[in-house]
Amino acid sequence: MDMLARAMPLQGFLGGAMIGLAGAIMLLTVGRIAGVSGLLAQTFGFTSSGSLNLTAASFILGVPLGAVLTQYVNGPVRSFYPSSFTTLIVAGLFVGFGSRLGSGCTSGHGVCGLSRLSPRSLVATCVFMSVAIVTVAVMKFSGLSK
């Protein structure tokens, strides 16, 4: 019940609407999907073109700047990370590997792909949501989470 007391449905709704709007604007203006892993790969030249994409770099730079602006307007944001730096690095590598293996990340498939009715995105979203649910359940019942 403690989680429900801390729920912020209006903020979640507004945040989701802003993410959807950003995805729609990017698709309509530059014809690109706003998947963060793909944009990150473009920013660092890991794509077939190998050149820096200014739109991708601007989007990637805007993600942390948006968080800083939110913190400036609303006050400090509480974040919780694993106590082990090694765990954080290994988890990040798994996420990166999964994003490349699945040809996109949660934002690319879950937000942009589903809104375009992409069958591949539907399968990918079902897979990563199922794995996330199982992971949370295992961590909760094994005592690995707080």
Question: Tens of pLDDT along 43-76?
Answer: 887 777 655 678 888 888 988 898 888 888 888 8
- Asked if residue 143 has pLDDT above 70, the reply is yes
If one compares 38 and 125, the residue with the highest pLDDT of the two is 125
Residue 120: predicted pLDDT: 92
Number of structural domains in the chain: 1
Of 86 and 146, the one with more pLDDT: 86
Distances (CA, A) of 53 to 32, 114, 136: 12, 25, 36
Mapped onto helix, strand or coil, the DSSP state of residue 144 is: coil
Distance CA 57, CA 118 (A): 25
Range of the domain at 82: 2-142
pLDDT at 3 over 70: no
Mean pLDDT confidence for 115-142:
90
- Taking the C-alpha atoms of residue 92 and residue 86, their distance in angstroms, rounded to an integer, is 10
Taking residue 63's Cβ as centre, other Cβ atoms within 10 Å add up to 13
